[in-house]
Chain A
C-alpha cells in the first residue's frame, strides 16, 4: 500500500510535467493546426537559457521566469518567420498536415544542431532548488518532497493562470474565436495573425517550464542530445493526443493518465515495457474514442 501511494505520487509528478508539454502542443494545434515537434527543441533551448541564468545569478527563481520569456520569444519567432509563410503558401488547408509536421521536425533538428554547436559536450546544470528528499511519515520516507510540491504547485498555478486567460479575458476570447473560426474572427476585427503568434508564445512559455521542471525532477543537467527531452516531447505529444489534442483539460487528463500508468508499470512490471505501454495506452484510448478522451468528432472546441 505504502509502495503504491509512492508510485502514484511519482506518476502524478511526472504526469503533470507531461501535461505542461501537452498543453504547449495543444495551444499550437488550436491556434494554427500544426503538430509542433519543434516544441521539444524550444523547451531544450529555453532550459539552456535557464541554466545560463542560474549560473550567473545563482537563483532558480530568476532563471525560471527568464527561461519562460525566452521560450515565448523563441516560439513566437518560429511562428512568425517559418510557420506563417509556410501556411500562407499551402493556403492554410487543414488536411495537409504532413508537410508542417515535417517542417517542425526539421526545425527540431536545426535547433538541436545549433545547441550542439554552441554547447558540444558541455552540459547545462539545473539542480533542484529545493530539497528532493521525501518527507518522513510514520518513520518511512514518502515520495513527496519539497521539490515535488514545487513542481505540482507550478503546474497548478500555470493551469489556473491559463484557464483564467482563456475564460475571463478578451485575449482569451480572441484566442478561442480565432481557433474556432478564423475567417469570422477576422471579420469581427480580431487580428488573427497576431493572436496566433500570441498562442505560440504562450505555448513556448509552457514548454520552457516543462523543460526546466523535467530537468530538475530528473538528472539535474541538460545536454543537446538529452534523452529526458526526447521523452518529454514524445510523452507530451502522446498525452495531448490521448486528451484529444483540442482541449487544455484533455492535455492535463492525458498527461496524468500517462504519468500514473507508466509509473505503475515501471514499479510492478519492468522498465523495458514502459515505452510500449505508452503506445498501448494510446491505442486503447483511441480505439474506444478515436478523437481522444475529451475530443469531439468533427468539431472544434472554442
Chain B
C-alpha cells in the first residue's frame, strides 16, 4: 500500500502557506476581523498548551487562565521596568511562566486525577486576585502593556489591529512549529509513554517525575506566550481579564479541537471566536428577545462541547481519520 510520508520539509511548506494566507487575509479584512484573527492566534497558542499537557502528558489542567495571567503580567512588568522592545517582553513572559510552571509542575507531578484538577482550579481562582494585594501589579485597574504603533514604513493605512494580527500570527506560527517538533521528539514520545502506562515507562528507564515536570514547564511557557499576546490585544493587564471562565474556555477549546491531537487546534480556536458572532446572527434574524441574545453564545458553546464529548471524544480530526481508514 502506498502511503504518503510527511516529512519536516512538507510541514514547513504547510506552515509557510498558512503564513502566506494570513498575510493576504490581513490585507483584505477590516479592523474587527483583524482583532478576531489576533484572538484566534492567542487561543491557538493557549489551546496547544493544554493539549500538550493533558492530551500528550496526561496531566489535567483546569487553570490555564492563571498561567496566561503570569505571562501577561511578566510581559507588562518587563516593559514598564526595563523599556525593552516588545519581542523581549514576549521572551520574558515565556521564560518567567515556564519557570513558574516548573515549580508548579514539581508539586503537580505527585498529584493525579481529581487532585490535580482541584489544584489547578484553585490556582485559576486564586492567582489573578493577588494583583489586588500588591500595588506593583496595579490592582483592579491593572497595568498597561503597549505593543506600540506599527512601523511608519508600513504606511498610514496600516492599522493597529492589523499590527496585532501580524504579531500574534507570527508568534503562533513559530510556537506551533516548535510544539509539533517537540511532540515528535524524544520528549514527546516520553510524555506519551508515561501517559499510556506509567509502570511500563518507568521500566523502560524513563524518569516519570522529570518527564511530567518538563511537560508542565513547556506547557506553561506556551501559556505565558498566549497571555502576553492576549495582554497585547487588550493594551492592558488586569485581574478581570483572567476569570475562571477563561480557563474553562481554553479547556473547552481543547476538547473541541480534540485533546489528543495537536492538528485540530485551529478548530477549537476558530469555534471559540466565531460562536458568539454566529449566535448574534441567529438571534438577530429569528428572535427579538434580548434574553436569548445574551444566553445563546454560552448555550451553543456548551451544547457543542457536550456533542463533541459524545460523538467525537477524541476530537473531530481523529473522528475523520478513523472513518477514512475503515
Residue numbers of A with Cβ under 8 A of B are 29, 35, 82, 85-86, 89-90, 95, 97-99, 101-103, 105-110, 112-114, 116-117, 120, 230, 234, 237-238, 240-241, 245, 270, 272-280, 282-283, 286-287, 290-292
Indicate which residue in A102, A230, A234, A238 contacts B251 across the interface (CB closer than 8 Å).
A102
Contact A241 to B60, CB < 8 A, known contacts A86-B310, A99-B309, A110-B299: no
Indicate which residue in B132, B291, B303 contacts A116 across the interface (CB closer than 8 Å).
B291
B313 at interface, CB cutoff 8 A: yes
Measured between beta carbons, the chain B residues less than 8 angstroms from A283 are 107, 119, 122
Complex Cα spacing A101 to B291, Å: 28
Complex Cα spacing A280 to B119, Å: 9
B222 at interface, CB cutoff 8 A: no
Indicate which residue in A97, A103, A108 contacts B60 across the interface (CB closer than 8 Å).
A97
Complex Cα spacing A261 to B248, Å: 27
On whether the beta carbons of A276 and B252 are closer than 8 Å, the reply is: no
Indicate which residue in A98, A116, A240 contacts B294 across the interface (CB closer than 8 Å).
A116
Contacts A109-B305, A241-B114 known; 20 new A-B pairs at CB < 8 A: A99-B259, A101-B117, A105-B248, A107-B302, A110-B303, A113-B295, A113-B298, A116-B294, A117-B291, A234-B122, A272-B129, A278-B125, A278-B126, A279-B119, A280-B126, A283-B122, A286-B107, A287-B110, A291-B115, A292-B115
Over the window 135-177 of chain B, the binary record of Cβ atoms lying under 8 Å from chain A Cβ atoms (1 yes, 0 no) is 0000000000000000000000000000000000000000000
Complex Cα spacing A29 to B291, Å: 35
Measured between beta carbons, the chain B residues less than 8 angstroms from A103 are 305-306, 309
Measured between beta carbons, the chain A residues less than 8 angstroms from B274 are none
Measured between beta carbons, the chain B residues less than 8 angstroms from A292 are 115
Contacts between chains A and B (CB distance < 8 A), count: 139
Using C-beta atoms within 8 Å of the partner chain, give the interface range for chain B: 35 or more
Indicate which residue in A98, A106, A112, A282 contacts B54 across the interface (CB closer than 8 Å).
A98
Over the window 287-326 of chain B, the binary record of Cβ atoms lying under 8 Å from chain A Cβ atoms (1 yes, 0 no) is 0000110111011011101100110010000000000000
Measured between beta carbons, the chain A residues less than 8 angstroms from B309 are 86, 99, 102-103, 106
22 contacts between A and B (CB under 8 A): A82-B306, A98-B60, A102-B255, A103-B305, A103-B306, A106-B306, A107-B302, A107-B306, A109-B248, A110-B303, A117-B295, A234-B125, A241-B114, A241-B118, A245-B118, A273-B129, A275-B126, A278-B125, A279-B122, A279-B123, A279-B125, A282-B119
Max count, chain A CB within 10 A of own CB: residue among B117, B127, B294, B295: B295
Measured between beta carbons, the chain B residues less than 8 angstroms from A113 are 295-296, 298-299, 302
The A-contacting residues of B in range 77-95, CB under 8 angstroms, are none
Contact A277 to B126, CB < 8 A, known contacts A89-B313, A102-B251: yes
Closest CB-CB distance, B258 to chain A, in whole Å? 11
Measured between beta carbons, the chain A residues less than 8 angstroms from B60 are 97-98, 101
Chain B residue with the shortest CB-CB distance to A237: B118
Complex Cα spacing A296 to B227, Å: 37
Main DSSP-derived SS at the A contact region = helix
B25 at interface, CB cutoff 8 A: no
B130 at interface, CB cutoff 8 A: yes
Chain B residue with the shortest CB-CB distance to A234: B125
Closest CB-CB distance, B92 to chain A, in whole Å? 23
Contact A105 to B252, CB < 8 A, known contacts A99-B309, A276-B127, A290-B110: yes
Closest CB-CB distance, B320 to chain A, in whole Å? 18
Complex Cα spacing A97 to B62, Å: 12
Complex Cα spacing A275 to B124, Å: 9
Complex Cα spacing A282 to B108, Å: 12
Complex Cα spacing A280 to B125, Å: 12
Contact A241 to B126, CB < 8 A, known contacts A99-B255, A287-B110: no
Measured between beta carbons, the chain B residues less than 8 angstroms from A279 are 119, 122-123, 125-127
Max count, chain B CB within 10 A of own CB: residue among A107, A241, A287: A241
Measured between beta carbons, the chain B residues less than 8 angstroms from A275 are 122, 125-126, 129
On whether the beta carbons of B129 and A97 are closer than 8 Å, the reply is: no
On whether the beta carbons of A105 and B251 are closer than 8 Å, the reply is: yes
On whether the beta carbons of A89 and B130 are closer than 8 Å, the reply is: no
